[in-house]
């Protein structure tokens, strides 16, 4: 059973000041939860299209729908595109795209959650939203390249290979 669409927005409004809220939801809850002004919303392409009943086939369409989420309150919207990569529409209006990391995907299970964890890790390192997106893509890919959830060392190895960072 799923939760009512407005539950994420209500929960988000009760979060203490300074706490960053991340929403990874689908269906009616995705658009409804934007009212809580989450720091990050992470739909995949299909969830984004479903939320508004509009196509999300092209990068331009996805950016337009991400901006719709922002008009409803979301601060940053990261859209995962599976084997195509990810895009981020940030709260300053910037749009960033990262292609998928090259490798041999084995399972998509947990890749979206790993993406969110990588984003938050990258953000916590003080490198801003660009670095957060690099870490997110690395973490999602590292998990997709194995069965189960990637370890921190596996994520760092993908990050070093894909982005040349020290990780």
Q: What are phi and psi of 39, to 5 degrees?
A: -60, -40
Q: Residues 24, 113, 130, 134: which is the catalytic one?
A: 113
DSSP conformation class of 83: G
Count the Cβ atoms, other than its own, within 10 Å of residue 106: 12
Q: What are phi and psi of 3, to 5 degrees?
A: -80, 155
Tokens matching residue 87 = 């895009």
Active site includes 24? no
Mapping DSSP to helix (H, G, I), strand (E, B) and coil, where does residue 162 land?
helix
Active site residues: 113
């Amino acid at each position: 059973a799923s939760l009512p669409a407005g539950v994420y927005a209500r929960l988000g409004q009760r979060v203490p000041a300074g706490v960053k809220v991340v929403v990874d939801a689908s269906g009616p809850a995705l658009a409804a939860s934007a009212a809580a002004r989450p720091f990050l919303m992470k739909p995949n392409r299909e969830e984004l299209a479903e939320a508004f009943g509009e196509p999300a086939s092209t990068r331009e369409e996805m950016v337009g729908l991400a901006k719709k989420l922002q008009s409803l309150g979301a601060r940053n919207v990261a859209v995962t595109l599976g084997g195509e990569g990810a895009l981020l529409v940030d709260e300053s209006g910037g749009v960033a795209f990262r292609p998928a990391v090259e490798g041999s995907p084995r399972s998509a299970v947990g890749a979206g959650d790993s993406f969110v964890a990588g984003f938050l890790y990258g953000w916590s390192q003080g490198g801003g939203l660009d670095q957060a997106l690099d870490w997110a893509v690395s973490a999602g890919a590292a998990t997709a390249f194995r069965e189960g959830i990637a370890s921190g060392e596996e994520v760092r190895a993908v990050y070093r290979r894909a982005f040349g960072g020290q990780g």
